[in-house]
């Protein structure tokens, strides 16, 4: 199970409880999370399912490489952190 956490900047807008989620890629982990938290999807991903331009997704403190397909692999004890990028807005 991967640990998924979100920037506190999202908390005032939508409930984003941290969770332990199954999945082999970032896409799978997020898809699983969105099943239980469907409103969060539109805050993190754009209409086409890519990471929003001004959102950053880290796996173990490294930015993911595939912001469109979210195919970066994740392992059993990895951490995913969804951050507000220091840009735009």
Distance of CA 75 to the CA centre of its chain: 15
Of 45 and 59, CB closest to other proteins? 45
Which position has the token pair 């507000």? 84
> Would you give the binding string for other proteins spanning residues 1-40, x where CB under 8 A is met?
--------xx--xx------------------------x-
If one asks whether residue 75 binds other proteins (CB under 8 A), the answer comes out as: no
Q: CA–CA separation, 47 vs 76, rounded Å?
A: 29
Of 27 and 55, CB closest to other proteins? 55
């Amino acid at each position: 199970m991967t640990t998924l956490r979100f920037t506190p900047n999202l908390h005032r807008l939508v409930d984003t409880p941290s969770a332990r989620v199954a999945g082999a890629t970032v896409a799978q982990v997020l898809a699983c999370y969105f099943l239980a938290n469907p409103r969060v999807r539109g805050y993190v991903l754009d209409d086409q399912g890519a990471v929003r331009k001004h959102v950053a997704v880290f796996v173990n403190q490294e930015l993911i490489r595939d912001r469109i397909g979210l195919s970066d692999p994740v392992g059993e004890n990895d951490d995913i952190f969804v951050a507000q990028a220091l840009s735009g807005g």
